[in-house]
Amino acid sequence: MEFRDVIYSRRSVRKYSGQPVPDEILEEILQAGLAAPSAVNLQPWYFVAIQSREEREKFNAVMEQVGEKVRAELEERFPNHPDTVAESQRFIRSLGGAPVVILGFCYKEDYQNYEDDALESVSAAMENMLLTACSLGLGGCWLTAPIQTGLAPDIQRTYAPGKGRLVGVLSIGYAADGGGTSPKRKPGRYVIL
């Protein structure tokens, strides 16, 4: 796929077909993350890819809790759109049946002077992964709901003790029919001087 097509066809996929992700594809996605730029070459990332059925079931139990906790926040944000609330909550609870979930941690949290830089570096790696998934015919969605709902410390303890704080979660897989659409971009968000 042309790079430009990847950029403009990527969208958040919240519903996945049951097709598994081959190991070599998952490796390629993870490697693309490591190829990202990082502040003063910190490479401050640590990723946990959850792929086996057993591990996914275990993580889905965590996401059930996230889904419960996020409801109030969604209701506040979308008071007139109960369908949006229900759909968002459903996705968060089930991750749309994603066959792979990648947890991104900011490994170098002890670099006090570089806290923002490290966070931005991990984010760059996560975007690389989403774009690579798209270029390979897969889709994904970035989630911070587990962090917003206060479950990050539990996830850190369980999946990556000592490896820093959870920055985000990516669901990855082949999109189910349609998969979803990307919202329109807001105008006036750049200037050329």
Contact positions with ligand FMN (CB under 6 A) in 21-50: none
Q: How far is CA 128 from CA 10, 37, 64, 79, 161, in A?
A: 12, 10, 27, 34, 24
Q: In the complex with ligand FMN, which residue's Cβ is closer, 87 or 109?
A: 87
Among 29, 49, 129, 141, binds ligand FMN (CB under 6 A): 141
Binding of ligand FMN by 91 (CB under 6 A): yes
Binding of ligand FMN by 145 (CB under 6 A): yes
Among 9, 84, 158, 182, binds ligand FMN (CB under 6 A): 182
Among 144, 153, 157, 158, binds ligand FMN (CB under 6 A): 144
Binding of ligand FMN by 143 (CB under 6 A): yes
**Taking the complex as a whole, how short is the minimal distance between the CB of residue 43 and ligand FMN, in angstroms?**
20
Contact positions with ligand FMN (CB under 6 A) in 158-177: 168
Q: Distance (Å, rounded) from C-alpha 185 to C-alpha 176?
A: 24
**CB-side neighbour CA atoms (13 Å) of 137:** 7
Let me know: does 75 contact 137? Beta carbons within 8 Å.
no
Tallying the residues shown for the chain, one arrives at 193
**Taking the complex as a whole, how short is the minimal distance between the CB of residue 193 and ligand FMN, in angstroms?**
26
**Taking the complex as a whole, how short is the minimal distance between the CB of residue 174 and ligand FMN, in angstroms?**
16
Q: Distance (Å, rounded) from C-alpha 70 to C-alpha 84?
A: 13
Backbone dihedral angles phi then psi of residue 138, each to the nearest 5 degrees? -105, 175
**Taking the complex as a whole, how short is the minimal distance between the CB of residue 105 and ligand FMN, in angstroms?**
15
Going by C-beta distance under 8 Å and a sequence separation of 6 or more, which residues neighbour residue 40?
114, 117
Q: Distance (Å, rounded) from C-alpha 138 to C-alpha 171?
A: 11
Q: Which stretch in 38-46, 77-85, 105-113, 143-151 sits in contact with ligand FMN by CB under 6 A?
A: 143-151
The binding site for ligand FMN (CB under 6 A) comprises 11-12, 88, 91, 141-145, 168, 182-183
